Structure 1
Amino acid sequence: MSIRSKLFIFIPLLVLLMSFVSYFLFESGKNVQESYYLMMDRILLYKQVSKESKEVMRYLNRYVIQIDEESYPDLRKHLEALKGLREQLANMEKNEVNALPILNYQNMIDTFQEQTRSMIGGEEGDSNAKAGAYLQAERISRYIGEDGQALVDLELEHYRPVYENIILTTAKMNNLGVYLVFTVALLSIVFSLWLSSSISGPIRRLVLTAKQISKGKLDTKAPELSTGDEIGILCQTFNRMLDNIQELMDKNMKGLEKDRLVKELELKALQSQINPHFLFNTLNAIAKLAYIEGAEKTSDLTVSVSRLLRYNLQKLDHPVTLRDEVQNALEYLAIQKARFRDRIQFVTEIDERAMEQIVPCLTLQPILENALVHGIEGMEEGALLKLGIACREGRVLIEIADNGAGMSEDIRTMLLQSIVKDVPRPHRGKEQSTGLGTVNVFKRLQLFYDGMQSIEIISAEGEGTTIRFYLPLSTGVA
């Protein structure tokens, strides 16, 4: 049985048991209350009749004897109240003990009402008759009070066995309620212990197994349970996962051994290739030989190529200063100047205050190369490439501009979007020689400055391109 089924069966069962106990106690108390309220209603009715008859006599005295006309409304009000009580007596349930006394009581009330109305409606001059009627009404009112008290005593005498039975029944119900509550509580505790042990026990053993695995003991197995619930399924799945991990580890060991052999072969192949540092030293030797022979331009060009090669040989993950980047960019522009001669004009505007700014290695050269290859390389004359660096409002502004072919709005938008998400690299007909394109530079700046930089691209087809980097000011090589 699954854990969910256990909960759906036993928890509603406990709720039903508790509801049954509560309903039983409620119904028992309700019966006791109804008997008590019935007795109290009858007693209060007798008391109210006696009280209203006395009130009628009090206002009748003021109206008839003292001739107080203002007491007449109150007299009528109490007469109507007494009439209503008389109707309640007529509708009240009677038994063989109180049936006759209640009937006499009703007749007495009727006589009292008739006597009172006759006095109210009598002639004013007949004072002796009114006085005699008043005395008669007063005597009847006194009898009503005495009979009412007798009826109260009769009701109490009649309900005394009922009351004693109620007390006995209430005591029994209280004892039964205690037993039922104790039984339900005991069942709840037993069920809770059984359910918690069926869940927490396997989980505890599973946790111990996981701790053993975390210590590297992968040959440990979780306890196999045949309960058929979710815990048993979890243990089986856990063991299958251990088997899969061991299989993956075996495959990884074989793969690592294969990679080691491949690395050894690659190392041997690399040892057979030309050492880049040897090539750098050779270029230096050629530059000095050209200088000795008087070929100064050839010497300068060879030195620029040598310096560019040495700069590109360093690790790209090491930050550098803008001064190093500008120097490398100038070496690159010197080589391109020898290639394009007067077809291209290079302009630099450098603010010395920004030269100690820390930037990622190879930030400027890829952008300059991209401007040459895709922007102004095809121009026969009038080509302009500008590099500007300045400090503005606590930030460093780097601007690389050309007056070449420009780019479409789609490519401009895609380059800006590449800063925060991966986008396909735009195909523009030619590949960059460094392998570090514009998208690469943008992403490295985003990572280096934690998104604190901002980049602008101003371009249109046939109107050139301007790329601006706004970098947070920082100095000192990390």
Structure 2
Amino acid sequence: MTIQNKLIAFFFVLIILMSAVSFFIYQSGQQSISQYDEILQRFLLLNEIAQTNHELQTLFTRYVLVPSDEQLAQFEYHRQHLLDYQQQFEEMVATDSTRSMSKNYYHMLSYLLNRMELAFETYGQPNTREHFQYREDVYKVSSWINETTLRFINHELTDYHTFHRELLVQSQSYLTMGIVTAIILFKVSLLFTYLFCKKITDPIRLLAGQAKALSSGNFSIKDLRVTTNDEIGLLTRTFNQMKRDIHRLIKQIKQKAAVEAKLHEQTIKNIKMNQLLKEMELRTLQNQMNPHFLFNTLNMVSKLAYIEGAEKTSDLIVSISNLLRYNLRSLDKPVTLADELKHVRDYFDIQKNRFGERVSIKVDIDASCLTQPVPLLTLQPLIENAFIHGIDSLESGGEIGITVEETTTHVHVEVYDNGAGMDQDVLQLLWRQQAEFHLDDQHGHTTGIGLTNVIKRLSLFYDQEDVVDIRSKPGEGTRIILKLPKQTKGIQGGGSSCIRSYLLRMKL
């Protein structure tokens, strides 16, 4: 039995006992009130009979002296009331000591009304002796009724005094019983609370002592004895099991520690060997060609070509140098859209020399969008896709375009071509690779970065999934739309200079 069920059972029994005592006192009180109401009702009824009898006698006397219709109507009114009171008196059960008198009293009320009616009927007839006899009977019966009513009232008052004394004694006994019951229940509750709390706190105190011993590393203590099936018993059994499990685990850890100590020595030796290998790799990398040397060499060749009059060759070398320098920038640092477009211009310059008149470039850019931050190498892989997979197979009439426009919440960058396009199977494969982060090496790309790589980096950069929309059909070209969420702050540093440089030099 759980602790909760024990408490519920105790309080249920306590409430039942208190309710039983309260119900008994309430029922006794209701019974006393009923007796009091009966005495009061009889008392009031007798008082009403006495007053009505007096009114009838007065009206009877006035009528026989000076008859009038008004007095007769009032007489009939009080007569009807007396009949109603007589009926109520009959319904009241008198005590054994007054039963005979009550029966006579009931019949005398009827006799009184009968004598009054006979007196009214013989009023004014020649035989006046009979009339006066009826009148004398009326006065005698009325007097007897008044005296008997007083006797009944006196008897009711006597009963009331007796009832009142008994009621006081009963109230005092109920009060005593209520106080005694409350004291007993209070003591029982205190005793139950003490025993109940002791039964809970003693096992918890023992558990706390064992927990303290365990915290000091003593696992040799004996298991606590389980004496109940409630939550405390469950807690004790669980604690004993946990202590045994911890002891067993510590033994296993000590055994593993000995093995790991040996492995640690071997690991240190391996680390030292790896350090030596890293140092060798570093020296090998240091012996490779410095990228700055390559850029400086390309710049020197460009100036030499310019001096020798080969301006087109000089511009191409500068574009290659810029392209290589931009590709070596850190991928984890964002750039502005202007930087990306400047990089695309250099890439266009190189491809223009390759494709010649086979391809035309179209650009429509909103200058207010050029400070939008984007990941490095976002646009150039898309343009390169358009060249490699789109218009490379066209003999003439190839077209590649870039459109940048601003909406309320986004900057839309669209890269399109009129090349071969893709069917639905290729598009689904592309989206599947992007969802699985399947980044295959792009061997045909200058950067090794493909479309799926760009899409994933944009999703991570803006923390949104729906940032790219691809529309393509076989033979109708491909449109890649980048939906870039607006940023409140642009990239600090060379953003403004890149924008000015782009606006002055972007000639596609």
TM-score, normalised to structure 2, is 0.68
What residue in structure 2 maps to residue 85 of structure 1? 85
Aligned partner of residue 176 in structure 2, secondary structure:
helix
What residue in structure 2 maps to residue 181 of structure 1? 182
Tell me how far apart the structure 1 counterparts of residues 303 and 48 of structure 2 sit (CA, whole Å).
140
What residue in structure 2 maps to residue 287 of structure 1? 298
- Please say if 1:101 is aligned against 2:101: yes
* Aligned ranges 1:312-391 → 2 under 5 Å: 313-314=330-331, 316=332, 318-331=333-346, 343-365=358-380, 381-391=396-406
Deviation at residue 6 of structure 1 after TM alignment: 1.7
Contact 1:348–1:387 (Cα < 8 Å) also in 2 = yes
- Please say if 1:434 is aligned against 2:452: no
Unmatched tracts of structure 1, length 5 or more: none
What residue in structure 2 maps to residue 36 of structure 1? 36
Aligned partner of residue 98 in structure 1, secondary structure:
helix
The one-letter amino acid paired with 1:48 is E
Decide which moves more: 26-35 or 365-374. Answer: 365-374
The one-letter amino acid paired with 1:322 is L
Deviation at residue 175 of structure 1 after TM alignment: 0.7
Distance 1:163 1:459, change over 3 A: same
The one-letter amino acid paired with 1:397 is V
Deviation at residue 151 of structure 1 after TM alignment: 0.6
Distance 1:115 1:206, change over 3 A: farther
Contact 1:347–1:385 (Cα < 8 Å) also in 2 = yes
TM-score, normalised to structure 1, is 0.71
Distance 1:188 1:209, change over 3 A: same
Aligned partner of residue 474 in structure 1, secondary structure:
coil
Distance 1:145 1:124, change over 3 A: closer
What residue in structure 2 maps to residue 307 of structure 1? 325
What residue in structure 2 maps to residue 12 of structure 1? 12
What residue in structure 2 maps to residue 402 of structure 1? 416
What residue in structure 1 maps to residue 485 of structure 2? 471
Aligned partner of residue 96 in structure 2, secondary structure:
coil
Deviation at residue 363 of structure 1 after TM alignment: 4.7
Distance 1:360 1:298, change over 3 A: closer
Deviation at residue 390 of structure 1 after TM alignment: 4.0
Aligned length: 458
The one-letter amino acid paired with 1:280 is P
What do the CA deviations read for 1:19-45 (whole angstroms, capped 9, x no partner)? 222222222323322332232232233
Tell me how far apart the structure 2 counterparts of residues 113 and 183 of structure 1 sit (CA, whole Å).
64
Contact 1:407–1:459 (Cα < 8 Å) also in 2 = no
Tell me how far apart the structure 1 counterparts of residues 69 and 166 of structure 2 sit (CA, whole Å).
54
* Aligned ranges 1:39-78 → 2 under 5 Å: 39-54=39-54, 56=56, 69=69, 76=76, 78=78
Tell me how far apart the structure 1 counterparts of residues 278 and 353 of structure 2 sit (CA, whole Å).
33
- Please say if 1:27 is aligned against 2:41: no
The one-letter amino acid paired with 1:87 is Q
The one-letter amino acid paired with 1:357 is Q
Tell me how far apart the structure 2 counterparts of residues 259 and 108 of structure 1 sit (CA, whole Å).
129
Aligned partner of residue 107 in structure 2, secondary structure:
helix
Distance 1:125 1:237, change over 3 A: same
- Please say if 1:461 is aligned against 2:473: yes
Distance 1:34 1:350, change over 3 A: same
Deviation at residue 97 of structure 1 after TM alignment: 1.4
The one-letter amino acid paired with 2:184 is T
* Aligned ranges 1:219-258 → 2 under 5 Å: 226=226, 227-234=228-235, 237=238, 240=242, 243=246
The alignment's C-alpha RMSD in Å is 5.3
Tell me how far apart the structure 2 counterparts of residues 62 and 278 of structure 1 sit (CA, whole Å).
151
Aligned partner of residue 153 in structure 1, secondary structure:
helix
Aligned partner of residue 473 in structure 2, secondary structure:
coil
Distance 1:164 1:468, change over 3 A: same
Contact 1:115–1:137 (Cα < 8 Å) also in 2 = yes
Unmatched tracts of structure 2, length 5 or more: 306-312, 493-508
Decide which moves more: 178-187 or 58-67. Answer: 58-67
Aligned partner of residue 469 in structure 1, secondary structure:
strand
Contact 1:286–1:302 (Cα < 8 Å) also in 2 = no
Distance 1:178 1:381, change over 3 A: farther
Decide which moves more: 276-285 or 26-35. Answer: 276-285
Decide which moves more: 90-99 or 324-333. Answer: 324-333
Deviation at residue 176 of structure 1 after TM alignment: 1.0
The one-letter amino acid paired with 2:371 is E
Distance 1:429 1:151, change over 3 A: same
The one-letter amino acid paired with 1:299 is I
Contact 2:459–2:466 (Cα < 8 Å) also in 1 = no
The one-letter amino acid paired with 2:298 is A
Contact 2:336–2:374 (Cα < 8 Å) also in 1 = yes
Deviation at residue 220 of structure 1 after TM alignment: 9.6
Contact 1:403–1:465 (Cα < 8 Å) also in 2 = yes
The one-letter amino acid paired with 1:471 is P
The one-letter amino acid paired with 2:321 is V
Contact 2:2–2:231 (Cα < 8 Å) also in 1 = yes
Deviation at residue 177 of structure 1 after TM alignment: 0.6
Tell me how far apart the structure 2 counterparts of residues 337 and 192 of structure 1 sit (CA, whole Å).
95
Distance 1:475 1:108, change over 3 A: same
